[in-house]
Structure 1
Amino acid sequence: MRFEDLEVWQRACRLCVDIYQQLNECRDFSFKDQITRSALSIPSNIAEGYERGTNKDAIKFFYYARGSAGELRTQLYIGIKIGYIPKQIGMNFKEEAEQISKMLSALIKARQS
């Protein structure tokens, strides 16, 4: 199995693309950079962890990905509050980030067993 076959990686990639597209016109470059970097970090860390040689290394990167999902949720809340992201779209992104976090928790638990 390849990391590209993992549903959690696929969903994290889709979420990242959706966030990039949503913020395409955002002129606040520091906010845009920060939120897109945290979104990009999720699938990137899943891939890096999966490609590592040991479960210990993989789990460490899956935790990084989960941490980035939490960072992303925080930035989504702020983006909604300051009007950069429409509320319903932002809440949909937040829900997806939460689901990805849960999937990562399950992946971590499975790898720890």
Structure 2
Amino acid sequence: MHNFKKLKIWTESMKLVSDSYKLTKTFPEFEKFGLVSQMNRCAVSIPSNIAEGSSKSTDKHFSKYLEDSLGSAFEWETQLIIAFNENYLSEKSFNELEQKIKSIQKMISSFQYGLNKS
């Protein structure tokens, strides 16, 4: 078992959750039940799946949760691109957040690869 609170993939994902909430607070009101809800649910899903997977008794089971977490990370990235295309955030903010999500995706993939090798 892994202590999820000590995993860098979890701590970085938790920071992304805060970033997502801060960002979506600036979106138009009509997006409240659309993109705002979707982005925040995806962001929350990333560290949540890491935490849930860490409780599993085998690395194989943990890896499945990491796969789900990675899927949510790619989904969030897509929603970020949509938000940028709709002019809901600046190019500077977009670039910063895109770098963060890509970094998280790489970390999750690397961690998963390490689990699968053992």
TM-score by length of 1: 0.94
Gaps of 5+ in 1: none
Q: CA deviation at 1:88?
A: 1.3
Give the superposed CA RMSD: 1.1
Q: CA deviation at 1:85?
A: 2.0
Identity rate of aligned residues, in percent? 30
Q: Answer whether contact 1:76 1:85 (CA < 8 A) is retained.
A: no
Q: 1:46 aligns with which of 42, 45, 50?
A: 50
Matches of 1:31 and 1:6, distance apart in 2: 29
Q: 2:38 aligns with which of 34, 40, 44?
A: 34
Matches of 1:8 and 1:73, distance apart in 2: 16
Over 4 Å off, 4+ runs: none
Size of the aligned set, in residue pairs, is 113
Q: Give the letter for the 1:105 counterpart.
A: S
Matches of 1:94 and 1:25, distance apart in 2: 17
Residue by residue over 1:17-64, the C-alpha shift from the partner in whole angstroms, topping out at 9 and shown as x without a partner, is 111012114211111000111111111111111111111110000000
Gaps of 5+ in 2: none
TM-score by length of 2: 0.90
